[in-house]
Chains A and B, each alone.
Chain A
């Protein structure tokens, strides 16, 4: 059970859009439409932002969107705001277990 692969860092200016990729295998991301994304600010617990690949929990801004193609899932944040600066983790169900990505640090320039 290897960690999902995410870029270590991404950056963007306020108002721009960024996309974070998350690559897994046919045993996790590719087999299930059950990828979730979490936002984590320093010293805080992770917060669920996207579930089932593209659905937003109540209260999460519609600037956050998710998609999946094959073994790769993606998180897109549009209209970047300063408050979006955080670490982002993808996670995939893998059949009675879960696997996380290594995390991506988003810097808002």
Chain B
């Protein structure tokens, strides 16, 4: 059973870069037919799609965050990462990593989520 686990800094200062990693276990991140995505949820609010990386390495980002977001894959460690630069308090949220089944275009497996607070 494939599982995802987020990790990274829980507290980031304003204007700095948020960095998170999603470790994939129980399967290979290089398996064809899947993409890997980041989604966030501010406290008490709804879900926001951040971006995804296809198994080929191609990346696609939410237009509202595109200038600040980088998603990358480390196949040797079977994990993918999120970097969000120039953060503000508005970036405070629970960040989820998720697998996208490319045939159904849905997020079928999610990590448990990790809370990131932007504060000085």
Q: Using a CB–CB distance below 8 Å, which chain A residues touch chain B?
A: 1, 3, 32, 34, 36, 38, 45-48, 51-52, 55, 57, 89, 91, 93, 96-103
Contact = CB atoms under 8 A, between A and B. Distances in A.
A89 B46 contact: yes
A98 B49 contact: yes
Interface of B: 37, 39, 46-49, 60, 62-64, 96, 101, 104-108, 110-113
A48 B106 contact: yes
Contact of A1 (B39, B63, B111): B63
A34 B105 contact: yes
Given A89-B46, A97-B49, A100-B49, A45 B112 contact: yes
Given A91-B106, A96-B60, A45 B46 contact: no
Contacts of A98: 37, 49, 105
A80 B63 CA distance: 38
A51 B62 contact: no
A33 to B, nearest CB: 10
A48 B104 CA distance: 12
Nearest to B59: A96
Contact of B47 (A46, A52, A97): A46
Contacts of B104: 34, 36, 51-52, 55
A68 to B, nearest CB: 14
A97 B107 contact: no
Contact of B107 (A52, A55, A91, A99): A91
A36 B63 CA distance: 21
Contact of A100 (B46, B64, B112): B46
Contact of A46 (B63, B64, B101, B110): B110
A100 B47 contact: yes
A51 B98 CA distance: 15
A102 B42 CA distance: 12
